[in-house]
Amino acid sequence: MDVKFSLLDLWVVSPLIALFLFSIIPLTVKVFNENREGNPFVTMSIGLLGVILATGLIGTYKDISGIYFQDALVIDGASVWLGFLIMGVTAVTLIFSRENMATRNRHFSEFVFLLLNAAIGMLVVVWSNDLIIAFIGIEMMSLCLYVLIALSSEERLSKESAFKYFVLSSFASAVLLYGLAFIYGLAGTTYLHELVNRAPDLMGHNLLFTLGVVLAAVGLAFKVALVPFHAWAADVYQGAPTPITAFMATGVKAVSFALFLRVVLAEVMVSPESQGLVHFLQWLAVLTMLVGNIAAISQSHFKRMLAYSSVAHSGYVMMGLIAAGMAGPMGDLAIRSVLYYVTVYAVMTLGAFGVISLMEKRSESSIHIEDLRGMAQRNPWVALFIAIFMLGLAGIPPTVGFFGKLYVFTAALDQKLYWLVFWGVVSSAIGLYYYLRPIVVMYMEEQGEGADAVSSRQLTSFTVAMTALLVLFAGILF
């Protein structure tokens, strides 16, 4: 096959190249240094430089929207925005990892290498116009993640978590690929911009095509942890080192939703005759919101609680996603609602996990909600940040979480998804109960001994403070 590409094509993939080149620097240095781990701060800075350079390159995409690399990659507003989001999440994860005991070990160079390559995989997914390319991106991201989880200096839970994630994620990938095979077989293309034209005729008329779409949807539902495909989330999130948990709960979820969105926008979900898949996805969304929020109530482990909260938030994003699918080409509002929600959710969740990372003294530390007792006296600022993140996740105005809810509710109501919004409202009220729990423990119950923020982790503290400011004010200002 004759592969041709222009300079512009190369320009489009330049962030990927930049990230890759920077990711191998620490590794190369380590090899030439007789396998001695370098200064983790330097390693992190090199990684950050790569991320900053890539962000700058993505920033130049403004005027070049279109399809590149023989129709494999698409650059549009969503691509650029998600590109920024992924870079931001990666940078924050780098900062957290440098100061977390579970990740700052003698494999930190490898860690940075894998993290940046996971980010490359993520960029490929969100830019892909070809389902096969997207699949390759997902696999690249996932492979890096398996190892990133297992690299933790914590011995037991992280290994279990890595293995669990590996098995279940591979299974989900297989289901996704199986679905894609059906789609390709019947539509004759894996390019999304061609699928737009062919899907409406096939969807609902051809049972095998519908089966393919459903299988692909199930595979994606696994990746974004929709109920009933969510069971892996709590264990994996708990076992993974906290910075990586933050990375998975925000970056990986955003990426999977981006792919989900692109598939949905190819109009494979709805056709004039068939509303079947819409109903299927609505039920998934309702179940996800309810089960996620109810399961989170009984969690005493902070990370597990946030894991279930992240499941519940997948349900809210699904509201926007379904609205986008139903609106089709008119769904500008719905698309923006999904991107907005994914972003604000990422900011709030990064902050919440950042605080946990701040409190983990050793690599085996596990923070329970009870450990927050007396936080308001010992670390008033940290307590305030936790309160802001919790209120944000609960969607209380004026935090940015409220504006996210406003966006997705508007998108869903615009498509007349009244019941979906009703269940969203009910589950938000349920969710409020457990989001208030840490605040009650920190401020209102009798004070006592508990976890402490490690004061030497200044970069993490600074990042957490910045995210808290964003959560509090970004909604009002933007």
Q: Is 409 helix (H, G, I), strand (E, B) or coil?
A: helix
Classify residue 446 by its DSSP letter: P
- Yes or no: say if 64 and 6 are a contact pair by the CB < 8 Å rule: no
Among 265, 421, 470, 472, binds another protein (CB under 8 A): 421
Element (H, E) at 74: strand 73-75
Q: Where does this chain touch another protein (CB under 8 A) — which range of 14-22, 182-190, 215-223, 409-417?
A: 409-417
DSSP string across 181-196? HHHHHHHS--BHHHHH
Could you give the CA distance from residue 149 to residue 93 in angstroms, rounded to a whole number? 13
Q: What does the buried/exposed string (b/e) look like for 244-258 if buried means 16 or more CB atoms within 10 Å of the residue's CB? A: bbbbbbbbbbbbbbb
* 235/414 with CB nearer another protein: 414
Among 92, 292, 409, 472, binds another protein (CB under 8 A): 409
The distance of closest approach from Cβ of residue 325 to another protein in the complex, given in angstroms and rounded to an integer, is 18
The distance of closest approach from Cβ of residue 434 to another protein in the complex, given in angstroms and rounded to an integer, is 10
* 361/416 with CB nearer another protein: 416
On the 0-12 / 13-18 / 19+ scale of CB atoms within 10 A, 101 is buried
381 touching another protein, by CB under 8 A: no
Q: Where does this chain touch another protein (CB under 8 A) — which range of 8-16, 178-186, 221-229, 425-433?
A: 425-433
- Yes or no: say if 246 and 93 are a contact pair by the CB < 8 Å rule: yes
Report CA-CA distances (Å) from 289 to 127, 183, 284, 292. 28, 29, 9, 5
Could you give the CA distance from residue 96 to residue 161 in angstroms, rounded to a whole number? 20
- Yes or no: say if 358 and 454 are a contact pair by the CB < 8 Å rule: yes
Start-to-end Cα distance in the chain: 48
* 42/440 with CB nearer another protein: 440
Among 67, 294, 432, 459, binds another protein (CB under 8 A): 432
Could you give the CA distance from residue 27 to residue 47 in angstroms, rounded to a whole number? 11
The distance of closest approach from Cβ of residue 385 to another protein in the complex, given in angstroms and rounded to an integer, is 15
Count of CB atoms situated within 10 Å of the CB of 349: 24
406 touching another protein, by CB under 8 A: yes
Q: Where does this chain touch another protein (CB under 8 A) — which range of 61-69, 280-288, 308-316, 394-402?
A: 394-402
465 touching another protein, by CB under 8 A: no
* 66/380 with CB nearer another protein: 380
405 touching another protein, by CB under 8 A: yes
- Yes or no: say if 140 and 113 are a contact pair by the CB < 8 Å rule: no
426 touching another protein, by CB under 8 A: yes
Q: In the stretch 285-324, what mask flags binding to another protein with x, by CB under 8 A?
A: ----------------------------------------
422 touching another protein, by CB under 8 A: yes
| Residue 67 backbone phi and psi in degrees, to 5 | -110, 135
The distance of closest approach from Cβ of residue 58 to another protein in the complex, given in angstroms and rounded to an integer, is 23
Residue with tokens 């696994």: 222
Q: Where does this chain touch another protein (CB under 8 A) — which range of 16-24, 143-151, 349-357, 417-425?
A: 417-425
469 touching another protein, by CB under 8 A: no
The distance of closest approach from Cβ of residue 462 to another protein in the complex, given in angstroms and rounded to an integer, is 21
Among 333, 459, 465, 474, binds another protein (CB under 8 A): 333
DSSP string across 288-329? HHHHHHHHHHT--BHHHHHHHHHHHHHHHHHHHHHHHHHHGG
- Yes or no: say if 27 and 109 are a contact pair by the CB < 8 Å rule: yes
Q: Where does this chain touch another protein (CB under 8 A) — which range of 66-74, 141-149, 353-361, 405-413?
A: 405-413
Binding site for another protein (CB under 8 A): 333, 336, 391, 396-398, 402-403, 405-406, 409-410, 413-414, 421-422, 425-426, 428-429, 432-433, 436, 439-440, 443-445
